[in-house]
Structure 1
Amino acid sequence: MSQAPQATVRIAAALILDDEGRLLLVRKRGTERFMQAGGKLEPGEPAAAALRRELHEELGHPPTALQPLGEYTAPAANEPGCQVHAWLFLATMPPQVAPAAEIAELRWVTPREAQQLPLAALTRDHVLPLAIRLSQTVPMPSS
């Protein structure tokens, strides 16, 4: 017996690292899991444009640079029975980001600290390993 296909939510998400190799995680209002800033693509909207819009809405500033890191699929954190198809970008942000829109909390954490938090599957399975690799090999952006 085959299962019904899962609904797929198309999102753009940002891996944001600071000068110390910490990554920025956000938690949306009414949820418990931490994840990347970002959000759903509007119909016909390119992923990079969606991410610029979402980061401005959620963190108060658009990114100063975006670098594509690939596409990933994982179970959706806040939509049961759905999966996310994410376009992930390394984003450079101004230093003064603050929670806005639906963001209840943001945290700058080391990869070790992140592992102690309740994480969205995309963050746990794909973003965190990338963050560890990038923080070891890429010079950190200047704030």
Structure 2
Amino acid sequence: MKNVLRVSAVCVYDPDGRMLTVRKSGTSKFMHPGGKPEPGESPAEAASRELAEETGITVAPADLEPMGTWTGTAANESDTDIVATVFTAPGTWAAAGIEAAAEIAELRWLDTARAADFDDLAPLLTEYVLPRIAPWLQL
């Protein structure tokens, strides 16, 4: 039986429509900023906290727009499924000043129209989020 991990994640866009992705230290897949909720945290509270910890972007939990909740394969743990609640941050964010922090090794702004060119994207991103925001993609 697979382990199940609950996570919250946030889609953040720059003025050019690119989506912020992060790669955690010791991993190879790019994904949304986000992570596991702490005891008593709602999915939006966890998403807000993780976004701030990993990128320095501050968005109040109430300002996050729910996108959906999906169950899929964890990007970096083959014996684990994730139940991910994904939000969209309001507005757009300038890439300047956003830096990798906490366990994040690298940031990358992803042109979603070119997402099929990358083989290092997390399953949550390729199987659920990108088809919802860019249904023409064939990943």
> Shorter-chain TM-score: which interval?
0.7 to 0.9
**Correspondence for 2:114:** 113
Report the identity percentage: 43
Using the size of structure 1 for normalisation, the TM-score is: 0.82
**Residue aligned with 1:56, SS:** helix
Q: Structure 1 regions of 5+ residues with no counterpart?
A: 134-143
CA RMSD of aligned residues (A): 1.6
Offset from partner CA, 1:69-122 (integer Å, 9 cap, x none): 110111001222101100100013643311101111111121133322211110
Q: Considering only CA atoms, is the larger Rg found in Structure 1 or Structure 2?
A: 1
**Correspondence for 1:139:** none
Structure 2 counterpart of 1:71, from 69, 72, 90: 69
**Correspondence for 2:125:** 123
Query: How many residues get paired?
Result: 129
Q: Give 1:130 shift.
A: 2.5
Structure 2 counterpart of 1:12, from 2, 8, 25: 8
The question of whether the paired residues in 2 share the 8 Å contact of 1:15 and 1:91 is answered with yes
Q: Structure 2 regions of 5+ residues with no counterpart?
A: none
Using the size of structure 2 for normalisation, the TM-score is: 0.85
The question of whether the paired residues in 1 share the 8 Å contact of 2:72 and 2:83 is answered with yes
Structure 2 counterpart of 1:47, from 27, 43, 46: 43
Q: Which 10-residue stretch deviates more, 58-67 or 25-34?
A: 58-67
**Correspondence for 1:81:** 79
The question of whether the paired residues in 1 share the 8 Å contact of 2:13 and 2:93 is answered with no
The question of whether the paired residues in 2 share the 8 Å contact of 1:55 and 1:61 is answered with yes
The question of whether the paired residues in 2 share the 8 Å contact of 1:25 and 1:107 is answered with yes
The question of whether the paired residues in 1 share the 8 Å contact of 2:14 and 2:93 is answered with no
Q: Give 1:67 shift.
A: 0.3
